[in-house]
Amino acid sequence: MKKGKKLYEGKAKIIYATNDKNIVIQYFKDDATAFNNQKKTTIEGKGVLNNRISEHILSNLSQIGIENHLIKRLNMREQLIKLVEIIPVEFIIRNVATGSITKRLGIEDGTVLKEPLIEYCLKNDKLGDPLISEEHILAFDWATKIEIDKVKKMILRINDFMIGMFRGVGIKLIDFKLEFGRNKIDGKNEIILADEISPDTCRLWDSITDKKLDKDRFRKDLGDLIPAYTEVAKRLGILHEQSNISAVNVTKLSSIQRKKK
């Protein structure tokens, strides 16, 4: 598969064309942004870890029947993925209240929700990804009722699977963000899971200590982001001693991160 021209550059990833019009390459950058792009930095090694962690989660989801855009990981930073038309909605799934919802609704941080809560945000950086309702999605044709119902079903299965997967390695899945896209199969649009699932898009707390193992380390200036993401990868059994992202490299990478601060 030949890598073609850059089609799109986002905050954390770049999409390149290939010689197949239905397949693109997703490149994971080291850039970190928060608070609608107001806080930015580069954290060396982050893209490599997110590429591996997202590959692991998406291929496990595929095995339980959740169709997604991942075809295969190509190298340390790139994946081959199916080109989809992204639904312009960020789907937020919460198991425990923290972050924006606690401020918005005055809920105590760490409140365990009775049931998973799905929230919708319009994918629009200029507007700061505003919270919207299902009715807004229908009113403005961002997705159909059939598509939303399918997405909601997929979300609950993904959440159940991921809670179990992380629980098994001593991590609580607090909340996360998903994106879905339309993929043409035999002339018919199918909804599939897209984007990435990584510590950049999930809140992950150590089951015993509640230590944050996700992007909140950057948002809240807690430091040691690379060691935290590495810890997630190791617990999931992705990183082994012979891996290219060896413990030595990760230590080197995190010292670069400290010097940059």
Which residue number, 100 or 144, has a Cβ lying nearer to ligand UDP?
100
Nearer Cβ to ligand UDP, position 22 or 97? 97
Residue 175 near residue 202 (C-beta atoms within 8 A): yes
> What 3-state DSSP class applies to 87?
coil
Q: Which residue, 27 or 218, has its beta carbon nearer to ligand UDP? A: 218
> Is 226 within 8 Å of 257 (Cβ atoms)?
yes
Task: Give the residues lining the site for ligand UDP (CB under 6 A).
Answer: 90, 92, 99-101, 129, 175-177, 201-203, 215
d(CA 54, CA 56): 5
Q: What span, in angstroms and rounded, lies between the C-alpha atoms of 49 and 250?
A: 10
In the complex, the smallest distance separating the C-beta of residue 158 from ligand UDP, rounded to whole angstroms, is 13
Q: How far is the CB of 220 from ligand UDP (least distance, A)?
A: 10
Which of 83/93 has CB closer to ligand UDP? 93
Residue nearest to ligand UDP (CB): 99
Pairwise CA distance, residues 199 & 228, whole Å: 9
Alpha carbons 113 and 111: distance in angstroms, whole number = 6
CB of 34 to ligand UDP, least distance (A): 7
Q: Which residue's CB is nearer to ligand UDP, number 78 or number 90? A: 90
CB of 214 to ligand UDP, least distance (A): 7
User: Checking DSSP bridges between strand 78-82 and strand 70-73, what pairing results, if any?
Assistant: antiparallel
Q: Taking the complex as a whole, how short is the minimal distance between the CB of residue 92 and ligand UDP, in angstroms?
A: 5
Q: Which of 233, 255, 236, 256 is nearest to 245 (CA)?
A: 233
Residue 112 CB, shortest distance to ligand UDP, in Å, is: 15
Q: Which is nearer to ligand UDP, 43 or 202 (CB)?
A: 202
**H helices present in 64-212, as ranges:** 100-105, 134-139, 145-167
